[in-house]
Amino acid sequence: MRYLADSAPTSTLAVFALSLANHSLSFQRDGNTFVAQYHVEVAFRADTTQARQIGSDETVRVRTFQETLRADESVIYQQFVGLPPGVYTVTVTVRDRNAPASTRQERTETVPRFAGRALSSPIPVYEGPGRTGRAQLPKLLVNPRATLPYGGDTLRFYVEAYGLLRGARLVARGFDLSGTEVAHDTVSLTGDERFGAAELAFAPGNLPVGEGSLEVAALVPGSGAPPPQRAPFVVSFSDQWAITNFDEMISLLRYFDRQDWVDSLRKASVADRPSVWRRFYKATDPVPMTPENEALDQYFRRVQTANQRFQESGDPGWLTDRGEVFITLGEPDDVFDFSSDVSRSGVRGVRWTYSSLRLTLFFQDQTGFGRFRLTPMSRAEYQRVLARVRRGQ
């Protein structure tokens, strides 16, 4: 939720936006296209009284089946709604109209009053000119989660000012999670004393990976400046990967098959990292026509699964031998746990079989503390097969 001044002083224009991934919706074939339908309801309650409710049925239409599998949040729903200033309980319900899937969330929102000199909430946007007066609805495509792919697009914010002199200037500063200033921009308002607007933009590479915040202030002499406004943002490697640290990313890529490119990321200077990351992302993308990098998406899904399944004595699952094999080769065709035979063999163990690769691997717990390691013969056989698989890609 973000807020702008409305046409009447007794009302505030709330900007509501959310985003969905295509793969979270149920698509059905319709001729030469695929169609998904969903319903959104947003209710605003003040105390026990419902002040306002909006809702609509929406349709998503794509040309190819591949687009139905997109995991980035490319579906954007947004509405502008006028509300009296005050405290509200906001309930959001999203329902797939072609499946039983639904979700419901609730939170408390304080809708501000814009009186005298004031700045609006900075609104993260993808594009749009905004508006030229309070009586209009803004023409904006909102960035609901205020996210920016690392080294990729430009992070844009739309902001309005009320009661400032014509041509007044705004200063915008970007901060990282520690509070260190990492970006700076100054822009002039367009408009007049009653209404002004501006777009703030931070180019790729100016913002480090991670959570941050934007602070916007008016450059007004004396003590008449309105309070500054802040808004959070996130610079990430992907919508799907909860990784916001460059060194952590490089560490997690230790099993990725393109180690030549991983090494280039490791050697890149701080200034060169955004451009090297863009080249890495493009070079390792097996399906360039889609916005995702399917190879990286699969890799990090396996890292996440390995962490859930194979944690051993405090070691994260992706760093165990079983995690390494799972991440690089995928799910085995057959798993046999012969730990029940420990009384006869003296060693607990697990056997994994990859039928199509003609590969059988043995993991043994030699210490009895639940640390399953590849046997030396299995380690050699695994590395031989892995090299063959990578040569064939």
In-domain check, residue 283: no
pTM of the predicted structure, to 2 decimals: 0.76
Q: 65: exposed, middle or buried (C-beta count within 10 Å: 0-12, 13-18, 19+)?
A: exposed
Tokens 């199509």: give the residue: 356
74 pLDDT band, cuts 50/70/90, is confident
346 pLDDT band, cuts 50/70/90, is low
Q: CA separation (Å) from 368 to 105, 247, 324, 363? A: 46, 34, 21, 12
334 pLDDT band, cuts 50/70/90, is very high
- Residue ending a domain, among 213, 236, 259, is 236
In-domain check, residue 100: yes
Measured at the CA of 326, the angle between CA 325 and CA 332, to 5 degrees, comes to 100
Among 4, 17, 1, which Cα is nearest to 143's? 17
Mean pLDDT of all residues belonging to the chain: 90
In-domain check, residue 268: no
158-190 residue pLDDT tens: 999 999 988 899 999 999 888 889 889 999 999
For position 32, which CATH number holds?
2.60.40
- Residue ending a domain, among 84, 112, 140, is 112
107-119 residue pLDDT tens: 999 999 998 899 9
204-248 residue pLDDT tens: 677 878 888 999 999 987 678 899 999 999 888 766 666 768 888
Instruction: Flag whether pLDDT at 347 surpasses 80.
Output: no
Domain carrying residue 88: 1-112
pLDDT given for residue 260 in this prediction: 93
Instruction: Flag whether pLDDT at 359 surpasses 80.
Output: yes
Say yes or no: 88 and 158 in one domain. Answer: no
Domain total in the chain: 3
Among 8, 35, 4, 9, which Cα is nearest to 22's? 35
pLDDT given for residue 150 in this prediction: 78
Say yes or no: 81 and 102 in one domain. Answer: yes
- Residue ending a domain, among 236, 271, 289, is 236
In-domain check, residue 138: yes
Say yes or no: 139 and 155 in one domain. Answer: yes
For position 230, which CATH number holds?
2.60.40.1930
